[in-house]
Amino acid sequence: MTQTAALPTARTVDALPAPLQLDGASTALVVIDMQRDFIEPGGFGESLGNDVSLLAEIVPTVAALLALARRAGWFVVHTRESHAPDLSDCPPAKRLRGAPSMRIGDPGPMGRILVRGEPGSEIIDALAPWVGELVVDKPGKGAFYATGLDQVLRSRGISQLVFAGVTTEVCVQTSMREANDRGYECLLVEDATASYFPAFRQATLDMVRSQGGIVGWTVPFQALAGAWE
């Protein structure tokens, strides 16, 4: 009887602050909030006074990262920051914060701002989820708060998370910190994440990998792809 060696599923990624062993069998890609409300004019991001064009720049790299994850067989998760139509999951402290041109739940050019099921809450066409991928609607900035994400990942034996999406210092960093505290190893793809404030993106990359990787690791997309293929 012939024995076939199992294909190796682990690769060493040239990450910072140190190389990371990534095992495809226990890895998921988590793409944070690449939805119209943040990336296109007329949504929540713009209502807060931001220049949304800064975020569109990463779309080709996130698309390439999704393609890599799909070829590699990683579990793929997409999140959307969104609220129930009756706003029962949107604390007044969130809805009333600041002085936006439109508040969460108000009608805008892409439907009601940050409300589930409205055009603005949909992931942009270029990064549309495939059948079988998980789409998580989250009422908070973090992907683990008030979602079943942790249970789904654990049930699949996933312990390593590759992160991309927007915005780096808000929903991406919050989700990474939530995951880090839950025991996941977190790798942020440097050029697959963006902020309305480039200096905040850079600061987040620096703080994630400081102190020996206090929150996780970072890597440029090409270095990750090179390790995998």
**Of 37, 138, 141, 186, which one is the catalytic site residue?**
138
Q: Which of residues 47, 167, 204, 218 is near ligand TIU by CB under 6 A?
A: 167
Output 26 or 167, the one with its CB closest to ligand TIU: 167
Measured distance CA(117)–CA(41) in Å, rounded: 18
Instruction: Note the helical H segments in 42-193.
Output: 44-47, 53-56, 59-72, 92-95, 149-155, 173-181
Q: Please indicate whether residue 141 is annotated as part of the active site.
A: no
Output 41 or 157, the one with its CB closest to ligand TIU: 41
- CB-based burial, 27-58: b 16+ in 10 Å, e otherwise: bbbbbbbbbbbbbbebbbbbbbebebebbeeb
Chain positions 69 to 108 lying near ligand TIU, rule: CB under 6 A, are 81
Measured distance CA(189)–CA(111) in Å, rounded: 31
For residue 31, state whether it binds ligand TIU (rule: CB under 6 A). Answer: no
For residue 196, state whether it binds ligand TIU (rule: CB under 6 A). Answer: yes
Count of C-beta atoms within a 10 Å radius of residue 8: 8
For residue 58, state whether it binds ligand TIU (rule: CB under 6 A). Answer: no
Q: Report the length, in residues, of the chain.
A: 229
Chain positions 127 to 156 lying near ligand TIU, rule: CB under 6 A, are 141
Q: What are phi and psi of 155, to 5 degrees?
A: -65, -20
For residue 170, state whether it binds ligand TIU (rule: CB under 6 A). Answer: yes
Measured distance CA(122)–CA(142) in Å, rounded: 18
**Minimum CB–partner distance for residue 77 and ligand TIU (Å):** 14
Q: Which of residues 25, 48, 72, 152 is near ligand TIU by CB under 6 A?
A: 48
- Catalytic residue numbers, as ranges: 33, 138, 171
Chain residues in the site for ligand TIU (CB under 6 A): 33, 38, 48, 81, 141, 166-167, 170-171, 196
